Every structure is written in C-alpha cells, then in structure tokens.
C-alpha cells in the first residue's frame, strides 16, 4: 500500500523564499565578522599596551639595579665621598616627582611663562579663534 505524501511541497529546503540572497532575521554573518574584528583589534591594543608597560617596567628595574651597584661601588672604593643627588634613601623622590614634562630642576621664570602664553595666543589666532 502506498501512502500519499503529506507534504505537498516537493522542495526539501525549509527556506520558503526561492531568493538565494534571502537572509534570516537576526545578526548577519557580516555583523559577527565585524564584531570579531573589533575584538581582535582590542586584543591587539591591550597586548601592545601590556608589552609597552612591561618594557618600561624592565627599564626602570634595570636603572635601579645600575644605581644600586653604582652606590655600592662608591661606598666601597671612594671612601669619604659625599653624594648630593641621587641618594639611596630616596629623600628627593617627592621633589623629582613634581617635575613636569622633563623640565627638571630648571625653574620656570616669569619670562618663560610670558613666552609660552604668547605662543599659545598666536596658535589660537592662527587657528581662527579670535576670542582673546
């Protein structure tokens, strides 16, 4: 005995739309690809930031090791040598931490401040900002 086919549609494809460019609702492949590229780019940024931080930390450690060995050598071989700066006890650390932009021990004079302000004003005028 032969039973009739309960499915009148002979096409086994569950997609009722014959258009091959038809997409299902929801996030498309392109969106997932863009998200994955964004995640990969973020991962690369974080890796690069971590690498740079590690390099700075390694340079700082190396500088400290050299300084300690230099202090040890001076104490052992130079007798009554007095070191004004840098010192092993860290008494100038707060002072050097206040230095900004590599200015160092050079004091900012009134003339330097006036010159910097003039440069800033001239840059603003050059950019079209005549507000001052």
pLDDT digits (tens, 9 = 90+) for 28-41: 555 788 889 999 99
Q: Which residues of the chain have pLDDT under 50?
A: 132
Percent pLDDT > 90 in the chain is 20
Secondary structure letter of residue 18 according to DSSP: -
* Structural domain spans, the chain: 28-89
DSSP 11-70: ---S-----TT---SS--HHHHHHHHHHHHHHHHHHHHHHHHHHHHHHHHHHHHHHHHHH
What pLDDT is stored for residue 58 in this prediction? 94
What pLDDT is stored for residue 50 in this prediction? 95
Burial (0-12, 13-18, 19+ Cβ within 10 Å), 10: exposed
Closest CA to 71 of 82, 55, 62: 82
The reported pTM is 0.42
Q: Which tokens hold the place of 110?
A: 């009134």
DSSP 87-101: -TT-TTHHHHHT--T
pLDDT digits (tens, 9 = 90+) for 56-69: 999 999 988 988 88
């Amino acid at each position: 005995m032969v039973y009739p086919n309960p499915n009148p549609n002979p096409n086994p494809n569950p997609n009722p739309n014959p258009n091959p460019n038809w997409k299902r609702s929801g996030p498309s492949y392109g969106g997932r690809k863009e998200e994955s590229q964004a995640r990969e780019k973020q991962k690369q940024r974080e890796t690069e930031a971590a690498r740079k931080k590690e390099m700075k930390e390694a340079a700082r450690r190396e500088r400290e090791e050299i300084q300690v060995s230099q202090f040890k050598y001076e104490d052992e071989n130079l007798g009554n040598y007095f070191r004004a700066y840098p010192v092993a006890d860290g008494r100038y650390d707060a002072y050097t931490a206040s230095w900004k932009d590599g200015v160092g021990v050079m004091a900012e004079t009134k003339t330097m401040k006036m010159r910097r302000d003039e440069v800033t004003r001239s840059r603003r005028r050059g950019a079209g900002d005549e507000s001052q």
